[in-house]
Chains A and B, each alone.
Chain A
Amino acid sequence: MPQMVPLLAQANSAETFLTKLIDGLALGSIYAILALGLVIIFKSTQVLSFAHGAVAALGAYLAAYFVTVINWPGRYFESLPVTLSFIISGFVAVAFAALVGMLIERIFIRPMIGQPLFSIAMITIGIDIVVRTFVGDLLGQGGNLSVGSPWGILSISKFGEIVVPHVFIAAIVTVVVVVGVLILFFRTRMGVAMRATAFDQEAAMAQGISAGRIFALAWALGAVLAAIGGIFASISPRGFGVTGGTAFFALRAFPAIIIGGLDSIAGAVVGGFTIGIAEIMLGHYLAGASGTLGLGFTGLIPYLLMMGFLLIRPYGLFGTEEIRRV
């Protein structure tokens, strides 16, 4: 199992606070990227994909498989540094995930258009079980592929007393991805079509937009984000490595989107960072109480936050407020 980043400043100083904040941002960015994928699928197709975690695990597995098992990019270029090899594998894994997302949409979701959303959600649970079992089989009994430490991901840099774990690179990738998604949605022809379809499917079809293609694109994009999130989750010190556990780690994207609002891109990002930072901060400052709360209590924090939000703001921070007459 990956180790927690060793901490130098244990005192509750400002440096510790900043260190923990950076830790939280790094973790939150992984949640944010996973949540963003869910929101894109939900916004375009009104479907909550419970298969998201499984796709994340698949992405993580594929990336690790290419690097460690078949040494795929490395076998052709002897001198290829492992980091570069890992990045290439990551891209290939993400492309695979996009394909898987499109296949899921085409085979299971498209024929269900017009059926009750509850049935479609049930189907995604089925897909989740199938994909997770498949990944588990590939990994074998108690399997865990180690990708080692690309970018020295488990190491840290120190700026004075402030400790920056290298997994912080996930936060940078998240920023790039979020900017990319925003450009896609607000600047490109396909993105504008996606928003139009999400708003009024029939009116979009009347403009000549093919709703089927938009759905496929949304699922592909969702799967891409799931895979990126899964890869980072598997190399993060707080993740479970390349195991089936990544699927459960990715489930924390659900609290993130419920906090942020199911159909809001900004909400997914804010929600992801919120639970990431809360998990790390509360974990640190309540560490003394872990005797009472239990050692694994940090894993509960996202869900507790979610329950609180459901009571106070059921539609989330940025979600569309749905008013229904009872």
Chain B
Amino acid sequence: MLEVSNLEVVYNDVVLVLRGLSIEVPDGKIVALLGANGAGKTTSIRAITGLLDVHEGDITKGEIKWQGERIDKKDPSDIVKSGITQVMEGRRVFAEMTVDENLRTGAFTKRGTSKEAYDKVYDMFPALASRRKDTAGYLSGGEQQMLAIGRALMADPKLLILDEPSLGLAPKLVQQIKQIIVDVNNTGVAVLLIEQNANMALSIASFGYIMETGKVVMDGNSDKLLNDEDVQEFYLGLHGTGERKSFRDVKHYKRRKRWLS
């Protein structure tokens, strides 16, 4: 179980990005973290995986616990070894290297990774299996996303964090990625899914958090969130079934009033 409590993150000693974020990811569950641009979703992941240093960020308050142990002071490599891996936003595959080599970097923390570990990933992503020796940069967007997920799975994680896996993919591929996430979860891996595509995320998650300006403004079981009037209006683009609605009627103040007061 991952527990983030009251996390506060400051960039460059000035920019306060997270102001008291608290979320939980239970073992073996899919949890969705939703929010608009700049809400602090990616920053939360950087804090969890220890990559804040790269961006001159610091945790100034709060703590992160993984399986009961604090990890907010640990190195990224120790965090990966302890069983948390991430699929970064924008895939970030090593474009100059082959598919095989990309997977090998994912297995860096596992010395002497067996052939079975590779086969497991290739079984899951048959599209990659036929292109093992190809340069990763020449794969399509969907294949690169699969490679990024496969690479993260090579470290044999217990918690997989995905940052916008649907970014820039066609709707059909989004469905495919969604199925992959469910499959990964079925092997017992907990998933923290960061998404702007709220519909996709909530359809597979068991629990969801909605972030705004650095903190959680709403949480609940995903059916509850899916049926919530505000979530429907702001994240799912739905409002009153079947009616047409004028932009004049969209009340922007409503969101502030209800969630941040």
Contacts and interface: CB of A to CB of B under 8 A. Distances in A.
Contacts of A207: 80, 85, 105-106, 108-109, 151-152, 155
B51 A196 contact: no
Interface in B84-114: 85-86, 88, 92-97, 101, 104-106, 108-109, 111
Given A192-B101, A196-B105, A201-B54, A208 B96 contact: no
A202 B57 CA distance: 14
Contacts of B111: 189
Given A199-B95, A208-B155, A192 B104 contact: yes
Nearest to B104: A192
Interface residues of B, number: 29
Contacts of B85: 206-208
B119 interface: no
B49 interface: yes
Interface string A90-117: 0000000000000000000000001000
B81 interface: yes
B77 interface: yes
Contacts of B97: 192, 195-196, 199
Contact of B76 (A189, A192, A200, A208): A208
B197 to A, nearest CB: 22
B75 interface: yes
Contacts of B155: 207-208
Contacts, number: 71
A179 interface: no
A203 interface: yes
Contacts of B152: 207
Contacts of A290: none
Interface in B112-166: 151-152, 155
B88 A205 contact: no
Contact of A199 (B51, B56, B86, B96): B96
Contacts of B96: 195, 199
B94 A205 contact: no
Interface in A237-253: none
Contacts of A139: none
Which of B93, B94, B97 neighbours the largest number of chain A CB atoms within 10 Å of its CB? B94
B76 A193 contact: no
Contact of B94 (A200, A208, A210): A200
Contacts of A281: none
B92 A203 contact: yes
B109 A208 contact: yes
Interface in B60-83: 75-77, 79-81
Interface string A256-281: 00000000000000000000000000
Nearest to B111: A189
Given A192-B104, A209-B108, A210-B75, A203 B54 contact: no
A204 interface: yes
Contacts of B54: 201-202, 205
Contact of B77 (A114, A192, A200, A209): A209
Which of B93, B96, B108 neighbours the largest number of chain A CB atoms within 10 Å of its CB? B108
Nearest to A195: B97
B105 A210 contact: no
Which of A114, A202, A207 neighbours the largest number of chain B CB atoms within 10 Å of its CB? A207
A200 B76 CA distance: 15
B104 A189 contact: yes
A198 to B, nearest CB: 9
A114 B55 CA distance: 9
A135 B109 CA distance: 40
Interface in A111-164: 114
B108 A193 contact: yes
A199 B77 CA distance: 18
A210 to B, nearest CB: 5
Contacts of A193: 105, 108
Given A199-B96, A199-B97, A206 B86 contact: yes
A209 B85 CA distance: 12
Contacts of B108: 189, 193, 207-209
B51 A202 contact: yes
A195 B136 CA distance: 14
Nearest to A210: B77
5 contacts: A202-B51, A206-B92, A207-B108, A208-B77, A208-B81
Q: Which 9 A-B pairs have the closest CB atoms?
A: A208-B80, A208-B109, A203-B92, A208-B77, A196-B105, A205-B76, A210-B77, A207-B105, A199-B94
Given A192-B105, A200-B92, A209-B77, 14 more contacts: A192-B101, A193-B105, A195-B101, A205-B77, A206-B86, A206-B88, A207-B80, A207-B106, A208-B85, A208-B108, A208-B155, A209-B108, A210-B75, A210-B76
Interface of A: 114, 189, 192-193, 195-196, 199-210
